A = this chain, B = another copy of it.
């Protein structure tokens, strides 16, 4: 059951990077939500390869087809199946991987776990798997805005690339600012340095990581549940399930450990009829439940494991050997991770909105 996510807005993704295609089935979607292939394509295009000079050149249109669950432009309440065919698979580039495990990839662990793997690419560990997530999240956003929070905004950006840190105010940053540059950061000053660093890395056959930050504005109060399914817990799981993600923090996060309680607490005050906090070190969540303030969290993405230099590794028959990376890849996953982060946030929030409607509606 590793490929399903969510309790009530439940998605099941499927597909390897090299094979018939990839896709998703969404179960539990409310009916009468307007959705079209064109709506979904907008989000898929932000995720797809080949969209700029700093991402992988794999040539995939990632054109989606809705196979079920939508009738005359509206959701039926029945499962929505979405299919994207693989086009530009090049298994020949992976021939060497048949017998050698790429360092810091999933080749070895898949082989050890299952005793078999599709070595013609990354299989389920490929970022192509996230197509299904992004497509499902397009629907989730429509549900959230149509039924629960019409003005809800989910916006992510590249906060840092290695040591280049963007200066971005989560309460103010605009989607247009981020989408106006190919690295997808919210700080115009950081755009060129980040792009230059990524290009340098690519030229060296190397790679680089960084941090993505995400804000959700116009949040409903009351999403998330006590104990295990705290909103931050489900967000953490969602984000750590993304390829290359190594860390998650919400609100003050790790930096908050440097403060005392009297510095860290968020005082309450009334703003007309609404309960507000005058600071937001909680990141919009208290006791696992949203308090209506902006949801703010950050994720660490490691440098891409595919590099063009020779590395020590072992073969599938247990011999020490070497391997030099080949094939198309992203020298930095962050620009394409931004829509994936937004997608996972939308999926978590939509699921919790339905859960809230069930118990407390």
Contact = CB atoms under 8 A, between A and B. Distances in A.
Given A228-B241, A305-B265, A10 B4 contact: yes
Chain A contact residues, majority secondary structure: mixed
Contacts of A309: 262
Contacts of A177: none
A116 B14 CA distance: 28
Interface in A247-285: 247-254, 256-270, 273, 275, 277-278, 281-283, 285
A159 to B, nearest CB: 10
Contacts of A75: 116
Contacts of A104: 264-266, 281-282, 286
A76 B268 CA distance: 24
A109 B114 CA distance: 32
Contacts of A113: 77, 221-222, 289, 356, 360
A189 interface: no
A210 B257 contact: yes
A303 interface: yes
Contacts of A201: 260-261
A236 B239 CA distance: 9
Contacts of A237: 228, 233-234, 236-237, 240
A77 B114 contact: yes
Interface in A278-332: 278, 281-283, 285-292, 300-307, 309, 311-314, 318-320
B103 A267 contact: yes
A203 interface: no
B226 A106 contact: yes
A135 interface: no
Contacts of A208: 260-261
Interface residues of A, number: 153
B247 A253 contact: yes
Interface string A159-177: 0101100000000000000
A359 B123 CA distance: 18
A114 B20 contact: no
A67 B2 contact: no
A300 to B, nearest CB: 4
Interface in A138-169: 160, 162-163
A56 to B, nearest CB: 14
19 contacts: A8-B8, A8-B358, A14-B79, A16-B69, A32-B115, A103-B277, A104-B286, A107-B287, A109-B224, A109-B285, A110-B226, A110-B289, A114-B360, A115-B360, A163-B258, A206-B262, A230-B240, A246-B252, A269-B320
The list of the 9 closest CB pairs from A to B, nearest first, reads A106-B287, A2-B225, A247-B249, A207-B261, A358-B358, A237-B237, A109-B289, A20-B67, A14-B79
Given A162-B257, A247-B249, 8 more contacts: A1-B229, A16-B78, A20-B66, A208-B261, A249-B249, A257-B303, A269-B312, A275-B318
